[in-house]
Amino acid sequence: MDSLQRQQPLPLLVLVLLLLVSSRFATGLEWDGVAITQNDLQGLQAIKAELTDRRGVLRIWNGTGIDACSGAWTGIKCVRGQVIAIQLPWRGLAGRLSSKVGQLVSLRKLNLHDNTIGGPIPPALGLLRELRGVYLFNNRFTGEVPRSIAGCVLLQTLDLSANSLSGSIPASIANNTRLLRLNLSYNNISGSIPAAVTRLPALVFVSLQHNNLSGSVPDTWGSSSSNNVSGFQLKSLHLEHNFLSGSIPISLSRLPMLEDLSLSNNELQGSIPEEFGTFPRLKTLDLSKNSISGSFPESLCNLSSLVELKLEGNFLESPILESIDGLKNLSLLDLKRNQFVGSIPPTLGNISGLSLLDLSENNLTGGIPVSIDNLTNLTFFNVSDNNLSGPVPVLLSEKFNSSSFSGNLQLCGYSAAPCPSAPPTYPQSLSTSPEHTRRRLGTKALILIAVAVFLALLILLFSFLFYCMIRNRAAKQSTAREAAARRGEKSGQETGSEVETGGDTGGKLVHFDGPLAFTADDLLCATAEIMGKSTYGTVYKATLEDGSQVAVKRLREKIGLSETRFDIH
Ligand SMILES: *[C@@H]1O[C@H](CO)[C@@H](O)[C@H](O)[C@H]1NC(C)=O
Ligand SMILES: *[C@@H]1O[C@H](CO)[C@@H](O)[C@H](O)[C@H]1NC(C)=O
Ligand SMILES: *[C@@H]1O[C@H](CO)[C@@H](O)[C@H](O)[C@H]1NC(C)=O
Ligand SMILES: *[C@@H]1O[C@H](CO)[C@@H](O)[C@H](O)[C@H]1NC(C)=O
Ligand SMILES: *[C@@H]1O[C@H](CO)[C@@H](O)[C@H](O)[C@H]1NC(C)=O
Ligand SMILES: *[C@@H]1O[C@H](CO)[C@@H](O)[C@H](O)[C@H]1NC(C)=O
Ligand SMILES: *[C@@H]1O[C@H](CO)[C@@H](O)[C@H](O)[C@H]1NC(C)=O
Ligand SMILES: *[C@@H]1O[C@H](CO)[C@@H](O)[C@H](O)[C@H]1NC(C)=O
Ligand SMILES: *[C@@H]1O[C@H](CO)[C@@H](O)[C@H](O)[C@H]1NC(C)=O
Ligand SMILES: *[C@@H]1O[C@H](CO)[C@@H](O)[C@H](O)[C@H]1NC(C)=O
Ligand SMILES: *[C@@H]1O[C@H](CO)[C@@H](O)[C@H](O)[C@H]1NC(C)=O
Ligand SMILES: *[C@@H]1O[C@H](CO)[C@@H](O)[C@H](O)[C@H]1NC(C)=O
């Protein structure tokens, strides 16, 4: 309770009342009248002797010690004359932790966090069979995590974080089958992660981040001797800021309760396992700053519970999937500094809770979808250093400054690069089409329309061509043709002179000798260049789709010529 004195007065009062009520039952705040055992008294005196107590918090640990268990000794709790808890956090204690702590055989909780105690963590802790909680974080302990800790078979919390521990994680930790919270983060622990850690069945929190761990992450998560996968409760796994290598362990996907997974700032390789799409509760996935390659797995889009996805600084190179809006609860999407290709999916605009979107330093092309303007909660947006083109959606350009858009040569419509104003000719109006058109239509639709318009123009051009030709020849030949039609002859049977009408506006197409059979439609698809002009008309060299070349003469109106003047090349 003393540890709470630094907090706000009002919550303090509430907490103190709560603690009074609960501790009365749990640990007997009222002294049970049994004097401390000689063994435990010696233990406490040794602990006091080795600590440096600049603030004099332990001055009261004096005299005969008859009242040590009465509540008079700061931070000590007893049951039947035996010390069950030492709680002295935030007391400015320095010095060392005496190995005589091993004499307190009934000790359940050792809480000395946020002091400046140094020296080794006494291996004698392993003698304490009743020990359930060890809270020594934020001190200056050195040396190794004692392997004797395996003796504490009831241990639930081992928090030695933020010290200067070195050495490796003892494999003997396999014995601590009740371990629920393992926090060795912010030390200098090296070596590899023992597979034993992955098999501890009761683990809920594992924090090994900010150490010097190396080797590959064991791929044995969620497997135990009993093979009771449903028994695995692991919620949070932090391994970031180490030197871990190898591939991302697929077995992680066997942990049904996992909410928080960080493997960032390591040297992991390989691809993101497809199996990662099966986490039912995952909220945070941080794989940033590794050497992960391959594609963005489609299954990942199934993680509807995901809130943060960080893949920054890897070598991922697929398109960003349209189905990314399966990540309905996503608030943070960081794909910075990869090699993502293709366009930004408009479906991103469906993820309404998105507040951070970083797609910078990739190989993205195409435009910024206007649907992004729908993301009203967006507070960070960055697409700089890609190959994006076209105009920036209006709201985005108003909300974010040019650093969000720079490094895209063909992107315009933001402060540093306004779009060219009125579209003077048709092809330009395609690339700088007005805002409202872009807003209604996706990029795909725009491309389709462009192709359609282009085709329509071609059809018009050729129709006009043949219209002129037909008008010319119709005058000459209509009487002969009508006669032939009346005889019921198929015009095609007349070798070398098949006539088609090219639609309402079209002219007539007259074939001459040769093996080629093509229609006016084929001509529409052909590329043509002018070969020569004469008084009768212009000769075009047309290359058909199948590669064959024909000469087409477009006759001027009212010039009659015999069919033999044409040649098929
Ligand atoms: C123990 O320390 C307390 C507080 O410093 C003091 O009041 C008390 O007299 C001391 N008792 C003995 C027996 O030294
Ligand atoms: C592991 O736990 C058992 C009791 O369950 C104990 O007897 C044994 O000594 C422990 N092993 C180590 C290495 O401490
Ligand atoms: C582990 O320790 C670090 C540093 O003391 C702390 O920030 C973190 O919240 C702890 N994590 C857990 C799960 O206890
Ligand atoms: C880890 O070790 C290095 C070199 O021995 C030292 O500089 C650094 O301060 C240590 N870090 C911690 C957290 O103890
Ligand atoms: C980390 O471990 C490597 C060996 O694996 C060692 O060379 C290096 O000095 C260690 N770094 C720190 C900070 O302890
Ligand atoms: C598996 O573990 C869960 C939770 O610990 C438990 O409820 C269940 O009975 C166990 N199942 C088997 C087959 O051991
Ligand atoms: C996503 O989940 C659905 C149903 O939960 C499943 O049918 C589908 O195959 C999953 N998609 C991928 C890519 O895993
Ligand atoms: C999404 O978030 C809301 C609110 O945080 C939560 O109630 C809901 O269960 C989440 N959806 C999923 C699929 O986890
Ligand atoms: C997602 O966005 C796309 C394009 O922006 C839209 O066509 C689709 O209807 C949206 N889907 C849902 C479920 O909102
Ligand atoms: C936007 O943010 C506000 C405040 O953080 C939150 O209440 C609201 O639910 C968010 N909107 C969406 C669509 O997530
Ligand atoms: C992405 O762009 C960079 C530089 O522009 C280039 O070196 C790299 O090959 C490109 N990657 C892909 C997958 O296109
Ligand atoms: C923006 O959201 C509104 C309503 O949710 C929807 O009708 C509209 O289609 C969305 N716009 C785009 C471009 O997705």
Task: Parse the chain into domains and list their residue ranges.
Answer: 271-432, 491-565
**Element at 216 (helix H, strand E):** strand 212-216
pLDDT given for residue 174 in this prediction? 93
List CB contacts of 423: < 8 A, sequence separation 6 or more.
Answer: 429, 432, 433, 434
Ligand closest to Cα of 172 equals 2
How far is the C-alpha of 526 from the C-alpha of 542, rounded, in Å?
6
Residue 207 near ligand 3, beta carbon < 6 Å: yes
Centre of ligand 6 to C-alpha 155, Å, is 20
How far is the C-alpha of 314 from the C-alpha of 382, rounded, in Å?
17
List CB contacts of 346: < 8 A, sequence separation 6 or more.
Answer: 369, 370, 371, 442, 443
CA dihedral 415, 416, 418, 419 (to 10 degrees): -120
Cβ pair 264, 286 in contact under 8 A: yes
Cβ pair 121, 113 in contact under 8 A: no
Question: With a threshold of 0.75, does the pTM exceed it?
Answer: no
Cβ pair 521, 542 in contact under 8 A: no
How far is the C-alpha of 528 from the C-alpha of 514, rounded, in Å?
20
Centre of ligand 5 to C-alpha 190, Å, is 7
Cβ pair 301, 323 in contact under 8 A: yes
pLDDT given for residue 122 in this prediction? 97
Residue 420 tokens read as: 């060219």
Q: For residue range 329-372, list pLDDT tens digits in order.
A: 999 999 999 999 999 999 999 999 999 999 999 999 999 999 99
Bridge partners, 388 (sequence order): 366
Residue 5: Cβ within 10 Å count: 10
Residue 175 near ligand 2, beta carbon < 6 Å: yes
Residue 540 tokens read as: 């075009």
Ligand 10 pocket test: pick from 329, 332, 377, 379 the residue with the most ligand atoms within 8 Å of its Cβ.
377
Phi, psi of 447 (to 5 degrees): -65, -45
How far is the C-alpha of 3 from the C-alpha of 483, rounded, in Å?
113
Least confident stretch, 4-13, 22-31, 519-528? 4-13
Cβ pair 44, 66 in contact under 8 A: no
How far is the C-alpha of 376 from the C-alpha of 395, rounded, in Å?
9
pLDDT given for residue 460 in this prediction? 73
Ligand 9 atom having least distance to the Cα of 369: 5
Cβ pair 462, 523 in contact under 8 A: yes
pLDDT given for residue 34 in this prediction? 84
Centre of ligand 5 to C-alpha 211, Å, is 9
Q: For residue range 173-203, list pLDDT tens digits in order.
A: 999 999 999 999 999 999 999 999 999 989 9
Q: For residue range 111-151, list pLDDT tens digits in order.
A: 999 999 999 999 999 999 999 999 999 999 999 999 999 99
Burial of 232 (0-12, 13-18, 19+ CB in 10 A): buried
Q: For residue range 45-75, list pLDDT tens digits in order.
A: 999 999 999 999 999 998 788 889 988 899 9
Residue 317 near ligand 11, beta carbon < 6 Å: yes
Integer CA distances (angstroms), 514 to 384, 523, 528, 550, 568, in order: 59, 16, 20, 10, 6
Ligand 2 atom having least distance to the Cα of 172: 13
pLDDT given for residue 343 in this prediction? 95
Task: Output the CA angle 198-199-200, nearest 5 degrees.
Answer: 100
Using the predicted structure, report yes or no on whether residue 502 has a pLDDT greater than 80. Answer: no
DSSP conformation class of 511: -
Task: Give the CATH fold of the 271-432 domain.
Answer: 3.80.10
Using the predicted structure, report yes or no on whether residue 545 has a pLDDT greater than 80. Answer: no
How far is the C-alpha of 174 from the C-alpha of 24, rounded, in Å?
35
Task: Output the CA angle 410-415-418, nearest 5 degrees.
Answer: 50
Q: Half-sphere exposure of 486 toward its Cβ, with a 13 Å CA cutoff?
A: 6
Amino acid at 145: V
Mean confidence (pLDDT) of the chain: 80
Residue 24 tokens read as: 């009365």
